[in-house]
Amino acid sequence: MKRWPETTAIAALVAVLATAVLAQDRHSGAPEPETMPPGDVGFAVRDVRVFDGTSILEGANVVVRDGLIHAVGPGAAIPEGIDVIDGNGQTLLPGFIDAHTHSWGTARADALRLGVTTELDMLGDWRRLPAIKQQRESLDATSEADLWSAGAAVTAPGGHGTQYGMEVPTLAAGDDAGAFVAARVQEGSDYIKLIVEDMAAYGIELRLPTLSPEQLSDGIAAAHQAGKLALVHVSAGEAGLDAIEAGADGLVHLFADISTGDRFVRAAVERDAFVVPTLSVLASVAGQNQGATLAADPRLGPLLTDEQKAALGSNFGRTADARVLERALAGVRKLHAAGVDILAGTDAGNPGTAHGASIHGELELLVRAGLDPVEALAAATSVPARRFGIGDRGRIAPGLRADLVLVEGNPAQDIHATRRIRSVWKNGHAVAMVRPAAAPSEAAAPSPAGTLVSDFDGGTIDARFGAGWAPTTDQMVSGTSTVAHALVANGADGSAGALQVSGEVKAGAPFPWSGVIFFPAGKPMQPLDFSDRTELVFHVRGDGRTYNAMVFSGASAQGMPSTQTFFAGESWTEVRLPLDDFGGADFTRLRGLAFTAGHPAGTFEFRIDQVEIR
């Protein structure tokens, strides 16, 4: 069962009828003048090219009142006393909708500044769902894009989505998929995302547990029974076909392993499924450096923070496969030609992407894949609004929310014109077009000559360089996890000592963690340049859990860490982690190196020894 957009509210219908009456001239053929009522807040853009979500209107007037679009068209009357913006030579667009993001921190503010007024989050903290629903229903001024969210995804224990250190519910073999989906609906998920991902499509050795075909089918059926869209994360072509044949409403990635086949295209057409190909992140996986090109674009550069530029310049390390992007572009071309709805989504939050900026790169890639510029613009506005049932945005029409972007030039002819942003309005309120003030830049000192960090053979917990070792837990973000660390005798290879790390990971924080962190510079989180190193090497033994090695790096001390996992068994084992495999890490500015326990909650104990950065 599919769920389609709600009908326009009665208030919107009244606005349409009122606009039609105002546009009529009962005597001379010209619109009668109108006066703004007292207390009415609004503005008008005059003589502007309008992309209304589906087509182009030339020389139109657009009138906004109290957060809503009041009138649109060449003959739309502009009330007396209203602020008027000259739109000659410019194009007014609906605010962009990024149909695949992962939004945390400053993501929504960064998105809005670059014209993305709505983000569709595909996995995140479900505890915030009531707050984001309340915000998006308001017409008040805001500095953030509105957010719809899947909340917690449907994934297997230890599967994709569980490896980021945050506690998430999982669907185990034998569990009731209907009850699991019902719990997500109760939490407030706007749609249900199911994850079918074992990582094989990326050509790497890591294999993750994933949903069975029966769990996938049952989860999709449960989502539809609850009146929710069922979306599926895949990277493998076979899994994508299985998802569509099981009744998925849409895929939120295109394939990384094979070209899009005719059977899949036919199935998508027959079942009216849509695809969010996320070409931006696939370009990053393919090592195409599209993000770095966006960061260097002088049209976008003044609006980007240092953190956004660093994110755009990062990559997925050794997973790069240039064929991934070309296969995806060809797949979009086939799907679009067959009439399958294509939605613009960036997977912002991943290496090589940045919220707000990447939608402009996604539009360029969609045009490369065969959409004409107007179709690409629709893929980022009216099409996601229609497919996700968001009836108050995505178009410029009377009665709809005044989420608008004004750009120089004509993106219907040159898609790059979306990058020449003049103004953004959210709920009819102008958005500040100035990026947040950046903290003073820190120059990274060179790394020390030696490779050994600590051997823990002395009488204190020390390090050969840097600010040493410190406990780290989620208590800094209101969590309650605990940790203790101490020197113990009998280290690896018969050495004198090792560092014991023990504690308890407790549920409650959005991203629970507990462990220790090493700061390589003289002060915590100051950067050092380790770009001449290739490998993190250490010895470990422990309680049989899987742990996280986390790298904090880059332009911002508040940036998200890059992570690899390791296993701590009962015997001492040497672990060698290539630095290139810490996706998105910037080793020209290494700030911290942590060894932590994350999901699942519970007590833990492990020991590390002979830590080196070689």
pLDDT band at 15 (very low <50, low <70, confident <90, very high): very low
- Per-residue pLDDT averaged across 567-574, rounded? 96
Q: Are strands 274-275 and 404-408 parallel, antiparallel or unpaired?
A: unpaired
Q: Confirm if 531 and 587 have CB atoms less than 8 A apart.
A: yes
What digits encode the pLDDT tens for the residues 225-247?
999 999 999 999 999 999 999 99
- pLDDT of 18 > 50? The answer is no
497 pLDDT band, cuts 50/70/90, is very high
Nearest residue to 472 (alpha-carbon basis) of 601, 597, 613, 569: 597
Across the chain, mean pLDDT equals: 88
| pLDDT for position 1 | 32
Cα angle at 52 between 45 and 337, to 5 degrees?
Answer: 150
Q: Looking at residue 40, what is its pLDDT?
A: 58
Please classify residue 548 by burial: count the beta carbons closer than 10 Å to its beta carbon, then call 0-12 exposed, 13-18 middle and 19+ buried: buried
The mean pLDDT value for 398-403 works out to 98
Structure tokens given for 573: 């084992």
Overall average pLDDT of the 70-84 stretch: 95
pLDDT band at 202 (very low <50, low <70, confident <90, very high): confident
Question: Model confidence over 532-558: pLDDT tens digits?
Answer: 999 999 999 999 999 999 998 887 665
* Res 204 pLDDT > 70: no
Residues 252/232, Cβ–Cβ less than 8 Å: yes
Q: Are the beta carbons of 428 and 70 closer than 8 angstroms? A: no
**Helix, coil or strand: residue 577:** strand
Residue 527, token pair as written in the block: 């950067």
Residue 247: in which H helix or E strand, if any?
A: none
Other Cβ atoms closer than 10 A to 191: 23
Structure-token pair, residue 108:
């929504």
Q: What pLDDT was estimated at residue 417?
A: 98
Q: Which range in 186-190, 511-515, 579-583 is most confidently predicted, on average pLDDT?
A: 186-190
pLDDT at position 436 is 76
* pLDDT of 430 strictly over 60: yes
User: d(Cα 264, Cα 255) in Å, to the nearest integer?
Assistant: 11
pLDDT grade, residue 2 (50/70/90)?
A: very low
What spatial distance separates the first Cα and last Cα of the chain, rounded to whole Å? 56
pLDDT(195) > 60: yes
Q: Check if the beta carbon of residue 57 is closer than 8 Å to that of residue 50.
A: yes
Range scoring the smallest mean pLDDT among 126-140, 263-277, 315-329, 373-387? 315-329
For residue 324, the 8-state DSSP code is H
Quick one: what percent of the chain has pLDDT higher than 70?
Answer: 88
How does residue 477 score in pLDDT terms, banded at 50, 70 and 90?
A: low
d(CA 511, CA 548): 13
* Cα 333 to Cα 324: distance, rounded to the nearest angstrom: 14
Res 319 pLDDT > 70: no
- Nearest to residue 300, comparing CAs of 450, 86, 115? 115
The CATH number that domain 445-613 falls under is 2.60.120.430
DSSP letter (8 states) at residue 123: S
The reported pLDDT for the residue numbered 442 is: 58
Find the helix or strand (DSSP H, E) in which 382 lies: helix 382-387
Domain segments of the chain as ranges? 151-386, 445-613
The better pLDDT of the pair 382, 286 is held by: 382
pLDDT at 25 over 70: no
Report helix, strand or coil for 140.
coil
Residue type for position 248: A
The string of pLDDT tens digits covering residues 30-50 is 344 455 554 456 999 999 999
- Tens of pLDDT along 145-174? 999 999 999 999 888 887 665 668 999 999
Residue 354 to residue 334: CA distance in whole angstroms: 28
pLDDT value at residue 10: 23
pLDDT at 143: 95
CATH of domain 151-386: 3.20.20.140
